[in-house]
Chain A
Amino acid sequence: MSDPHPFRDLLPGYSLGILDEEERDGVREHLAACAACRAELASFREVAGRLAAAAPERDLPAGLEARIMRAVGDRSARQDAPGPRRPAWQPARQRGSRWPALTGIAAAVALVLGAGNLLQWSGVLSPAARGMPPRLSTAVLAGTASAPEAYGTIVLDPKDNKGVLAVTGLPTLDPGRQYQLWLIRDGQRRSAGVFSPDAEGYGSLLLTVPVDFRDFQSFGVSIEPRGGSPSPTGPRVLSGKL
């Protein structure tokens, strides 16, 4: 019987952020499906936190408090006015009337991303756990070395061959480039659209899958010239399997 926790020995290094890219990708993928390793990781993160919190305190630079509060105010000003803050993930452009179900799902997915905690994903993303129709399928995307803080998820509805991608942690691109989502089947890549994240690195994309999505084995996101490319040309920033 194979080891159910093949990455256990790497969890201390993962908690310190010192794994090589390949190891990190493997751990991330495993964590998305293994509650025991997520709990183990949390305990090592707490150790790392204790080490960090033991640092000697230093006198603060003059004016730093004011600068921080000004920056907080600036960020607030970019969000919707009064009442609860608009989550930074919320896409600026909505197509709710055309895709009411999926925009609801997008909100749920993006709420998860807003919470920003990978450790919560598997439970929260379970369709049953969120009252989503059980036919929905999800895929988790992990950041590569080009965007190590990025992650995202895709929710697909096979009934309509429609889905939504929500991502966070992506670096902002210059105006001449966009991120492009690829559906991968037997090594062949098919574009599922392009998107541009906001200043905080959040992005979303409503997509139509041309045939039954189950034919596709995995997904990837790459950096491409604005408008997209016929096939990937830039670095891959996210990848995941269905």
Chain B
Amino acid sequence: MSREETSDEELILRISGGDREAVRLLYQRHGRLVYGCALQVVSDAAAAEEVCQDVFLRVWEKSGTYQADKGKVVTWLARIARNRAIDVLRSRRSRGIIAEAPADESITAAPGSGADPGERLWQSLRDERVREAVASLPPEQRKALALAFFQGLTHRQIAESLGEPLGTVKTRIRDAMLKLRARLGEREGI
């Protein structure tokens, strides 16, 4: 069966059955996204490479955690990549390699380039529908969500970083996720 004829879900099934070649096919199909997703968070090529390797090893060992009725393989992979990258970022913070609770100005490794760094990350999203959904959020919700999503800061750390009350930050993030769910679900059936 050719690579084009095999669905992502079939590849996951084959991996569950011990087919190593299916891991290679999944990597060739989605490796660029997984790597890009990791790089977006850790801003370091070597660390992103480690994350990418971890993601595909995890797929190899835990393909049974994938539930087709909960979403596509690609979103599952990307979420694992983002979570692993956040783990790396937190580990670096705890070891003092990077600031413990960075201000939002340090959200990317491209300082001094003008626009709000969280905004730049949102605007760099490849999927136009997702980019538009995020753009429809109020700016304060986008900013709080950027610190949560790209930096993995807790509600409390975000509140400290922005100088806002904890309850306000919780509400912003909850409302942002509710709006995104509604907006993306309109056409995608989330």
A215 at the binding interface (Cβ < 8 Å): no
B3 at the binding interface (Cβ < 8 Å): no
Q: Which of A13, A42, A47, A56 touches B170 (beta carbons < 8 Å)?
A: A13
How many Å lie between the Cα of A119 and that of B71 in the bound state? 14
**Quick check: B60 and A72 within 8 Å, CB to CB?**
yes
**Quick check: A68 and B32 within 8 Å, CB to CB?**
no
How many Å lie between the Cα of A61 and that of B156 in the bound state? 36
- Closest chain A residue, CB of each to CB of B21: A69
How many Å lie between the Cα of A64 and that of B24 in the bound state? 11
Q: Which of A20, A50, A58, A72 touches B56 (beta carbons < 8 Å)?
A: A72
**Quick check: B64 and A116 within 8 Å, CB to CB?**
yes
CB contact list, A43-86 vs B, under 8 A: 43-61, 64-65, 67-69, 71-73, 75-76, 84-85
- Closest chain A residue, CB of each to CB of B82: A52
How many Å lie between the Cα of A17 and that of B153 in the bound state? 9
Nearest Cβ distance between residue B125 and chain A, in whole angstroms? 4
How many Å lie between the Cα of A200 and that of B53 in the bound state? 15
Knowing A58-B39, A61-B49 are in contact, say whether A48-B57 is a contact too (CB < 8 A).
Answer: no
A contact residues around B31 at 8 Å (CB)? 60, 64-65
**Quick check: B177 and A69 within 8 Å, CB to CB?**
no
B81 at the binding interface (Cβ < 8 Å): yes
A contact residues around B45 at 8 Å (CB)? 61
Nearest Cβ distance between residue A107 and chain B, in whole angstroms? 15
Knowing A44-B177, A54-B126, A64-B53 are in contact, say whether A49-B75 is a contact too (CB < 8 A).
Answer: yes
CB contact list, A1-40 vs B, under 8 A: 9-10, 12-13, 15-20
B contact residues around A12 at 8 Å (CB)? 173-174, 176-178
- Closest chain A residue, CB of each to CB of B28: A65
How many Å lie between the Cα of A49 and that of B184 in the bound state? 12
CB contact list, B1-52 vs A, under 8 A: 17-18, 20, 23-24, 27-28, 31-33, 35-37, 39-40, 45, 48-49, 52
**Quick check: A75 and B65 within 8 Å, CB to CB?**
no
A: number of interface residues (CB 8 Å): 49
CB contact list, A85-129 vs B, under 8 A: 85, 88, 114-117, 119
**Quick check: A47 and B37 within 8 Å, CB to CB?**
no
How many Å lie between the Cα of A45 and that of B170 in the bound state? 17
How many Å lie between the Cα of A58 and that of B176 in the bound state? 27
How many Å lie between the Cα of A18 and that of B161 in the bound state? 14
A contact residues around B40 at 8 Å (CB)? 55-56
Nearest Cβ distance between residue A97 and chain B, in whole angstroms? 29
**Quick check: B32 and A58 within 8 Å, CB to CB?**
yes
A contact residues around B188 at 8 Å (CB)? 50
Where the two chains meet, the residues of B that have a C-beta atom closer than 8 Å to any C-beta of A are 17-18, 20, 23-24, 27-28, 31-33, 35-37, 39-40, 45, 48-49, 52-53, 56-57, 60-62, 64-65, 67, 70-72, 74-79, 81-83, 86, 124-127, 130-131, 134, 148-149, 152-156, 158, 170, 173-174, 176-178, 180-181, 184-185, 188, 190
